[in-house]
Chains A and B, each alone.
Chain A
Amino acid sequence: MTQQPIRTYISDREIFNRADISGNPVQEEVLLAMEAGELPLRYQRNSQTLSLTDQISLTRSAVLIVGCGGLGGNLCEYLVRMGVGKIVACDPDVFEESNCNRQILATSETLGKPKALAARQRALTINPLVEVVAVEDLVRVDLLDSVQAVADCLGGADYRQELLEMAGNADLPLVSAGIAGWHALVCTTWPGESGIGEFMGKSTSSVENELGVLAPVASFAASLQAGELIRILTGVDPALRGSLLMADMARMRFSTVDLNTL
């Protein structure tokens, strides 16, 4: 793909003015501007690492985030700031006080409110150039129709295998993370290949119940998921395809193992 040069930078205000005049959705005006070499100012500091072509790819992309808790809340924040055009944030739960130790979207204002809605509201305050759709429900197959990748940010092991199958059937890559205590696992599953979900059967007693879940571990794992998703959406091979990164933040030990050998 040929790399387009950045001709100039453009403010959010100018994009909104153009949308007012043209009647186009804001997201469409963002794309038109970038295709003409105008990069939104808010992405200026992305541009030393991401090309204009990459930023256009992100703008055209949609990601389904399943779970808007410790992992999903942070992941949504990163993808919104990076400029992923559309995020479908899916979670049937409301915030409880026990979420506040690690879930970035759990605040005094959002207690008792739907997590998916909080993700959307937070996104509106961060980046009005992207769209976040809140789904206050369990994940459904039709939610995978219009996205290019799925993020497994579930709390608990129960539905991970099901989500893995759903993503595989929809021919979509799945970027998963799981955390407990100071430990994190992160894995990217390509359709039809091995993935983390296979190691978490339905009846599994997952160790987070014993070790709890911590804020820095949640944000760390979500950062790695964001990195993988950005690579996928910009057409770069994800670093953890078919492998599992295991982090022990108590000892600062990180290792990656190959999963495609079974």
Chain B
Amino acid sequence: MQIQVSCYATLARFTPQDGTLEVEQGSTARDLIRYLQVPEDDVKIIFINGKSSDPDNPLNDQDRVGIFPAVGGG
């Protein structure tokens, strides 16, 4: 199945080339993060289709996944 992935801020460089990734049925956001080699400790917010989500929930075809680090400056 195909997943749309955006990584933000310092993680932007982990966004796949055309913003999409082909993954196996039953894959989770955590699988995706590991596949893209995003440092897991740096990931603070994961949202799927505009809602913050558990990284271990299975994804569905054409889901939009956003991966965000902590942005805490002021």
Q: Which residues of A contact B74 (CB under 8 A)?
A: 67, 69-72, 153-156, 177-179, 213, 218
Q: Are A261 and B51 in contact (CB under 8 A)?
A: yes
Measured CB to CB, the closest approach of chain A to B71, in angstroms, equals 4
Interface bits A9-21 vs B (CB < 8 Å: 1, else 0): 0000000000000
Measured CB to CB, the closest approach of chain B to A13, in angstroms, equals 37
Instruction: Say yes or no for A129: interface residue by CB 8 A criterion.
Output: no
Which chain B residues in 40-74 approach chain A with CB under 8 Å? 41-42, 44-45, 47, 50-54, 66, 68-74
Q: Are B8 and A246 in contact (CB under 8 A)?
A: yes
Measured CB to CB, the closest approach of chain A to B13, in angstroms, equals 12
**Alpha-carbon separation in the docked complex, A181 to B54 (Å):** 27
Q: Which residues of A contact B25 (CB under 8 A)?
A: none
**Alpha-carbon separation in the docked complex, A257 to B48 (Å):** 9
Interface bits A174-211 vs B (CB < 8 Å: 1, else 0): 00011111011100000000100001100011111011
Q: Which residues of A contact B52 (CB under 8 A)?
A: 194, 244, 257-259, 261-262
Instruction: Say yes or no for A86: interface residue by CB 8 A criterion.
Output: no
Q: Which residues of B contact A133 (CB under 8 A)?
A: none
**Alpha-carbon separation in the docked complex, A184 to B42 (Å):** 17
Q: Which residues of B contact A200 (CB under 8 A)?
A: 44, 70, 72
Q: Are B10 and A211 in contact (CB under 8 A)?
A: yes
**Alpha-carbon separation in the docked complex, A13 to B20 (Å):** 63
Interface residues on A, range: 35 or more
Q: Are B51 and A178 in contact (CB under 8 A)?
A: no
Interface centre among A69, A71, A257 (most CB of B within 10 A): A257
Q: Which residues of A contact B71 (CB under 8 A)?
A: 178-180, 183-185, 206-208
Measured CB to CB, the closest approach of chain B to A165, in angstroms, equals 16
Instruction: Say yes or no for A3: interface residue by CB 8 A criterion.
Output: no
**Alpha-carbon separation in the docked complex, A19 to B57 (Å):** 63
**Alpha-carbon separation in the docked complex, A262 to B29 (Å):** 14
Q: Are B70 and A183 in contact (CB under 8 A)?
A: no
Measured CB to CB, the closest approach of chain B to A112, in angstroms, equals 20
Q: Are B66 and A205 in contact (CB under 8 A)?
A: no
Q: Which residues of A contact B69 (CB under 8 A)?
A: 206-207
Decide: A204 near B8, CB < 8 A? Known: A194-B52, A199-B44, A258-B52.
no
Q: Are A155 and B70 in contact (CB under 8 A)?
A: no
Q: Are B10 and A207 in contact (CB under 8 A)?
A: yes
Q: Which residues of B contact A204 (CB under 8 A)?
A: 44, 70, 72
Q: Are A181 and B72 in contact (CB under 8 A)?
A: no
Contact residue among A177, A199, A207 (Cβ-Cβ distance under 8 Å from B45)? A199
Q: Which residues of A contact B (CB under 8 A)?
A: 67, 69-72, 153-158, 160, 177-181, 183-185, 194, 199-200, 204-208, 210-213, 218, 244, 246, 248, 255-259, 261-262
Query: Could you give 28 example pairs across A and B, Cβ below 8 Å?
Result: A67-B74, A69-B74, A70-B73, A72-B74, A153-B74, A154-B72, A154-B74, A155-B73, A156-B74, A157-B70, A177-B74, A179-B73, A179-B74, A183-B71, A194-B52, A199-B70, A205-B42, A207-B70, A207-B71, A208-B71, A213-B73, A248-B8, A255-B66, A257-B66, A258-B51, A259-B52, A262-B52, A262-B53
